[in-house]
Amino acid sequence: MSGQEIKSEYEKIKDKISYNDFLKRMEERKHDYEDVSFMSELDIARTIVGEYINEENKPLSEANEVHKIRKLETGHDNISITGRVLHISHVKKFTSKKGREGKLANMILSDDTGEVRVVLWTENIKFLKKISEGDVIKINNAEVKQGFREDEVHMKLDSTIQKLDEKDFETFPKYDDKITI
């Protein structure tokens, strides 16, 4: 891959960010994605470009509209959900059928209408450093898929998580971290 391909990607957003800032973001992302074997520098550049383009080109439909957990249905895509993190699993390593290594973690998210399992893949594991059980979070740009027992929310390559002020969500179930024996 050449620097010219990356420069070509940058040209698409040159009026929104300086080239030096673009390269700094590339370096930050390389660090974020160091465990993601299939992310090339060009993929990282395209991800950054996509963030800037998507900001202005959001469809007028329900993209990233916040959904209540009880209303989630298989097939919903580009949705946002807000909830309290009730549980975060340990990160597990796996090898795909194609031989690629990856990571997987799950968390249980709850709002005032129900609970849902959220699946974090290799590229999303980095978010676990910023959140803890009991936090109220918003997940953006996720997809609802049929799980083993019920619907699950799957994070995608460009999904994000933001921590919210729990005072704004007093109707959400409280987190109880009592240790049972």
pLDDT at 52 over 80: no
pLDDT of residue 61: 40
Q: How far apart are CA 137 and CA 83, in angstroms?
A: 6
- Contact status, residue 107 vs residue 88, Cβ threshold 8 Å: yes
pLDDT of residue 129: 92
pLDDT of residue 181: 55
- Provide the percentage of residues in the chain whose pLDDT is more than 90: 48
Level-2 CATH architecture, domain 66-167: Beta Barrel (2.40)
pLDDT of residue 49: 85
- Contact status, residue 105 vs residue 89, Cβ threshold 8 Å: yes
Mean pLDDT to the nearest integer, 39-64 = 67
Residue 58's alpha-carbon distances to 27, 47, 160, in angstroms, are 27, 16, 16
Q: How far apart are CA 35 and CA 39, in angstroms?
A: 9
pLDDT of 33-47, one tens digit each? 776 666 778 888 888
pLDDT at 60 over 80: no
The confidence band for 58, taking pLDDT boundaries of 50, 70 and 90, is very low
pLDDT of residue 90: 95
Contact residues for 29 (Cβ-Cβ < 8 A; gap 6+)? 44, 47, 48
pLDDT at 85 over 80: yes
pLDDT of residue 91: 95
Region(s) of the chain under CATH 2.40.50.140: 66-167
